[in-house]
């Protein structure tokens, strides 16, 4: 919520007092220079960068980090389970094709590799689409509000790694099941 400074001072009963002043620079590179100028003009005041606020909240509320870790863990588990179920269904539907591969001499490692490669590529595609949707949402937020949204490379890489790892692990059991099918039974599967 944003209100004029004079209104806030009237509500609090203090004049010429502000607890926070938010300053937005036009160029990210000038943030440190602006902070130095503010420190020189108003010595003794604490200057906090927007990029430092999440870390301050995490230190002030350690349970928030635990909550976020639980949410991330659940998201990874659910996505892994979803990939497992979709690939399990896809492999069941392709039982006959897998039987043909096995009857033509396809080894177990070839079949597992083919299914894991498919899962890896689908995971990479999902990461790419997720990144694209995130950029569009970021653009929408920054265009229609005064909020600034930043993506940190370390979190993007961590999310992408978890997604790809979850996808390949979710495909492991269906791939092993397909590789151990009897070719004769697989060919007679309807």
pLDDT digits (tens, 9 = 90+) for 27-66: 766 777 888 888 888 777 777 777 777 777 777 777 877 8
What does the block give as tokens for 96?
Answer: 């006959």
pLDDT in tens, 94-129: 888 888 888 888 898 999 999 899 889 998 998 999
Residue 16 Rama label (left phi>0; alpha psi -120 to 50; beta): left
Least confident span in 24-28, 98-102, 142-146, 157-161 = 24-28
User: Cβ(51)–Cβ(152) under 8 Å?
Assistant: no
Model confidence pLDDT, tens digit, residues 68-85: 889 988 988 888 888 888
DSSP 8-state secondary structure symbol assigned to residue 149: -
pTM over 0.85: no
Residue 169's Cβ-count burial label (10 Å; 0-12, 13-18, 19+) is middle
């Amino acid at each position: 919520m944003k209100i004029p400074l004079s209104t806030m001072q009237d509500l609090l009963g203090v004049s010429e007092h502000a607890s926070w002043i938010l300053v937005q620079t036009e160029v990210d590179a000038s943030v440190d220079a602006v902070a130095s100028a503010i420190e020189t003009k108003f010595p003794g005041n604490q200057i906090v960068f927007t990029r430092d606020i999440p870390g301050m909240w995490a230190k002030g509320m350690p349970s928030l980090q635990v909550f976020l870790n639980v949410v991330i863990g659940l998201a990874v588990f659910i996505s892994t389970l979803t990939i497992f179920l979709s690939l399990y269904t896809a492999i069941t539907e392709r039982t006959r094709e897998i039987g043909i591969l096995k009857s033509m001499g396809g080894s177990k490692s070839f079949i597992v590799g083919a299914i894991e490669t498919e899962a890896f590529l689908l995971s990479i595609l999902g990461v790419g689409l997720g990144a694209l949707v995130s950029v569009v949402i970021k653009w929408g937020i920054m265009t229609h509000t005064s909020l600034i949204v930043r993506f940190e490379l370390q979190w993007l890489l961590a999310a992408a790694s978890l997604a790809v790892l979850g996808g390949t692990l979710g495909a492991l059991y269906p791939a092993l099941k397909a590789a151990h099918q009897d070719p004769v039974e697989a060919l007679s599967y309807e």
